[in-house]
Amino acid sequence: MQTVTFEHLNQQKTASLKTKNHYEPRRRDNLRRQAILTAVREWELTLPGQAQDVVTQLVAEQWAKEGGRGITVNKQNLYRYLKNETNSTKYTAYVMQLANAISVAMPIEIARKHGLRQGKTDIELVAEAIRETGEHHQAKLLGLPSKKQAKEGFENLLANAALLPGELAGVVIAHLQALAPLFT
């Protein structure tokens, strides 16, 4: 009979004690915080009356929509975090956590200008849909090969679906997929 020896090591792995709401500061966060502050200042110029109140309200609503917790978003705190006059890493971390809510709440033109968000404005989406529709019609009228017509038709559908709110675009595309066998 053979014997087998086992060695029991009771080593515990160290786990991070950080919760989901903690943020690890990075070297360039202060520059990004300044870019966000500049974008918010420009955003304020587009709003009449109590601009800071409106900005704070929109950011707080977006923060709540995203399920944000742990940061109190009111006018005094938001602007204290953004200005960060004491150069606090804690405030910089708060701004980095709020960055997505701030960029989504502000107009896309301003967010794009300051590098906070990518995307297209409504006018750009409509222009692209018109262009793609024209190209699709042109491909059909010129009698281009069916592969080219299908490509233009697909691009046309995508451009027009981009005009819809996100939840509706998925529904429309699902309906088109259901109807596809009828046209083959």
Res 165 pLDDT > 70 = yes
Q: Can you give the residue ranges of every domain in the chain?
A: 29-113, 122-183
Q: How many Å apart are CA 107 and CA 64, to the nearest integer?
A: 18
Q: Which residues contact 31 (CB under 8 A, 6 or more apart)?
A: none
pLDDT digits (tens, 9 = 90+) for 149-160: 989 988 998 888
Cα 103 to its chain centre, rounded Å, is 8
Q: What is the pLDDT of residue 25?
A: 60
pLDDT in tens, 31-68: 888 899 999 999 999 988 889 999 999 999 999 998 88
Q: Are 62 and 105 in contact (CB under 8 A)?
A: yes
Q: Which of 149, 159, 137, 155 is nearest to 183 (CA)?
A: 149
13 DSSP assignment: P
Residue 32 confidence (pLDDT): 87
**24 vs 166, which has greater pLDDT?**
166
pTM for this entry:
0.64
Higher pLDDT, 167 or 92: 92
pLDDT band of 134, cuts 50, 70, 90 = very high
How far is Cα 61 from Cα 74, in angstroms, rounded to an integer? Answer: 11
| Confidence category of residue 175, pLDDT binned at 50, 70, 90 | confident
Helical H runs in the chain?
29-45, 51-65, 75-83, 89-105, 108-113, 122-141, 146-161, 166-179
| pLDDT > 70: percent of the chain | 84
Look at 77-91, 146-160, 169-183 and tell me which has the smallest mean pLDDT: 169-183
